[in-house]
Structure 1
């Protein structure tokens, strides 16, 4: 049994986690809805990497639909009142979409690496049909890896609080989270380094420097995005696992609260993925630029229409 102090709730941590989740839900839904519209109405040429990006958009939109329920869980002081079935469905969909998003982001980086560094390989002649088949296999593989999330008990939904019993399902979840961070991040760093090294050798002429800078920005954005979203949670989960054997309840509670907040940061990937889309095609840059101008224009119109002081109505 945990000591009472070890299971104390931190209202500040729970509100911070819920606020992050709601912000990520709003921004992620807006950004990925624009990306989805661009895929259907503005993208004229589809290539395998575009198919991986399309599936990444779908994963991010489905993940965003889970976040309000997750935020309500934190705002309700980690209590779940919607029943075990809804709890299991939420956990499964959340784990599936987050894992699939990481997988498709890695697939985009790997596709760029093969086309730039190993351009003569036959795999670069992959058909669109084959790319759709690979995408379907990714979804099926992630569903098989995350199906244990649907078997958790109602008391586990969806919580990062430490448990004394080390069940196989909980250990599998922890191992899967670390694998989903270490392997893709290592592969992304390896591919990014290879892409940049090859492009520096090929694009030495001054007139080709803009293309090199765009490629550098793309691979840099993918690496920075992954580190920003997952590295804090990775460190917090390591500290949480290490603190389970400690007797100091203050340390364990701090680790739980840190895991709650940094765990909410992992969903920031769905908000920042549109940065990757912008670097991948001018069609996305045009769509997001149009959205930005539209929002800016509306804000200016509201400001101009706001009632001001009329000197003729003043008593002075």
Structure 2
């Protein structure tokens, strides 16, 4: 079903609201992610594992944001036609959406290894290895998108309303690209929060830093779920039922726009995550240094 015939997505008022919303996301996202890149690349002289992950995350968010004007132009100008501009912008958009998801998972795994397995973490964690992980993730995500394109699958929403391009079976790529990272993120977050709660607090300052660190883990998990889960639940429902009604098309349209907000929320979290985990590591490291410098203390090192 062509989503241009659906009452919600074809409404002029809804289109104006959508354009204003995406314009706001574009301005805020470019400013915040651009600032984050400037800080990471120009102001911080020591590269850590988390810095490398966050730089890649900021790049992915920026690339996704930069496709928004082209997708809007293609949608308004060419409707459901499969133009090169439409395919290219949609491909870059999807690649960077799932790259962002994968990088958030990688940061969670890095945090989990550092906190739960600090001894092994010294051998598993390094800036070079973080760079290698990012390179592998880029290759996997881009390869999956190329395969989707070869199979002529484009999930509904933007300009791909041509029924001949609808191949619901390959939506599995989207679902695996989300549900697997979600499972890993939930597991790692719970493990790290549990570990933080079990660490004895030497003083009030350490207890407060640990509490803030745990709060940021929960905040990151909630942001991830709120932004991405609704969209993939709708995709799951469409795959399971085989339906492509206006209700599903409209819901996909809305939940896809909600997922775009993650680009701004990631950037807002950069500073707070870095600061809180740096404080928690520093405070927890002081009493433990007598043993073995606390094996990087909390070793969350999101800074």
- TM-score when normalising by structure 2: 0.78
Correspondence for 2:138: 139
Correspondence for 1:314: none
Correspondence for 1:262: 255
Greater Rg, structure 1 or structure 2? 1
Correspondence for 1:10: 10
Q: What are the ranges of 5 or more consecutive residues in structure 1 without an aligned counterpart? A: 247-251, 286-316
SS where residue 121 of structure 1 aligns?
A: helix
The alignment yields a C-alpha RMSD, in angstroms, of 3.2
Q: What are the ranges of 5 or more consecutive residues in structure 2 without an aligned counterpart? A: 279-303
Correspondence for 1:182: 179
- Check whether the contact 1:113–1:191 (CA below 8 A) recurs between aligned residues: yes
Correspondence for 1:305: none
Sort the Cα spacing of 1:71 and 1:203 in 2 relative to 1 into closer, same or farther, 3 A: farther
Correspondence for 1:100: 99
- Check whether the contact 2:109–2:188 (CA below 8 A) recurs between aligned residues: yes
Aligned partners of 2:19, 2:74: CA distance in 1, in Å? Answer: 8
Aligned partners of 1:133, 1:21: CA distance in 2, in Å? Answer: 33
SS where residue 120 of structure 1 aligns?
A: helix
Correspondence for 2:158: 158
Sort the Cα spacing of 1:108 and 1:79 in 2 relative to 1 into closer, same or farther, 3 A: same
- Check whether the contact 1:32–1:274 (CA below 8 A) recurs between aligned residues: yes
What count of residue pairs does the alignment treat as equivalent?
A: 273
Aligned partners of 1:63, 1:209: CA distance in 2, in Å? Answer: 38
Aligned partners of 2:84, 2:2: CA distance in 1, in Å? Answer: 30
Sort the Cα spacing of 1:255 and 1:155 in 2 relative to 1 into closer, same or farther, 3 A: closer
Aligned partners of 2:194, 2:3: CA distance in 1, in Å? Answer: 55
Aligned partners of 1:62, 1:3: CA distance in 2, in Å? Answer: 27
Aligned partners of 2:91, 2:133: CA distance in 1, in Å? Answer: 21
Q: CA deviation at 1:49?
A: 1.5
- Check whether the contact 1:13–1:260 (CA below 8 A) recurs between aligned residues: no
Alignment pair present for 1:196 and 2:188: no
Q: CA deviation at 1:127?
A: 2.7
Aligned partners of 2:4, 2:85: CA distance in 1, in Å? Answer: 30
- TM-score when normalising by structure 1: 0.75
What does 1:207-222 align with in structure 2 at a 5 Å threshold? 207-222=205-220
